[in-house]
Amino acid sequence: MIGCGNMGGAMLRQWIDSGVLAANQVDVVNRNDRALPADVRQARDLPAGALPDAVILAMKPQQLDEIARRFAERLRGVPALVSILAGVEEAALAKRFQAGAIVRAMPNLPVGIGKGVVALDSRCGDAVLRDAIEALMAPLGLVEWVAAAHFDAVTALAGCGPAFLYRFIDALATAGVAQGLPVDQARRLALATVEGSALLAAAADVSPGTLADRVASPGGSTRKGLDVLDHEQALFTLLRETVAASTRRNAEMAAEARR
């Protein structure tokens, strides 16, 4: 792994905890030492010797050119190059690195507890390699292959989505405080409500929208609250604009990486 910050570290810990990788199979190249699982080798440079089975680019997207200058020649011919760099397209990676296959992956933070989402995209048609990458990602949560044209949108929805949801949880708790609840209690209630509701929605055979309508009795308090969210589709409009803003930024970063 080249880079191992919050997201890379979450993936690495879950891979080791799930047994899909042993700690002594992993080398991490970091600018500064980080707290990593025991037996993971950590250094400032690539390890000497044969090429690894795979390289995972997990540094900041802005470091792409620096990393390519330092390591591209030494990594020439690596079987698989997996990138979790937001907004960096496969063509931009292929311009800098020569690998047997290049795979874009977009995880979100819940991969650290095996409940995340990992979107994958690659022009590589090797079914064995694609299956191997999918198996590597499987312990992290839901794994979906996504068309390249949709990758920016998936990054905005699933990659950025946890931050949007955390903001909603915080707003829900704050709304409870505004009605007189103590702050700590409101936070506990909001978190438990979102957790339980998400689990129920995931197991249901109907859409979340249908579940919302089932909870809301005509003339009841839930319906009155939904009337506010549903007025002129206020919530849908807000989230469309939110995801669209993130999608546009992903496209901007992709354009910057093409230069």
Domains of the chain, with CATH numbers? Answer: 6-147 (3.40.50.720), 161-250 (1.10.3730.10)
Mean pLDDT of the chain: 95
What pLDDT shows up at residue 182? 98
What pLDDT shows up at residue 205? 96
Stretch 67-95: mean pLDDT:
95
**Tens digits of per-residue pLDDT, 164-223?**
999 999 999 999 999 999 999 999 999 999 999 999 999 999 999 999 999 999 999 999
What pLDDT shows up at residue 253? 87
pTM of the model: 0.89
Helix (H, G, I), strand (E, B), or coil: what is residue 99?
A: strand
What pLDDT shows up at residue 87? 87
Burial of 149 (0-12, 13-18, 19+ CB in 10 A): exposed
| CA–CA gap between residue 7 and residue 107 (Å, rounded) | 8
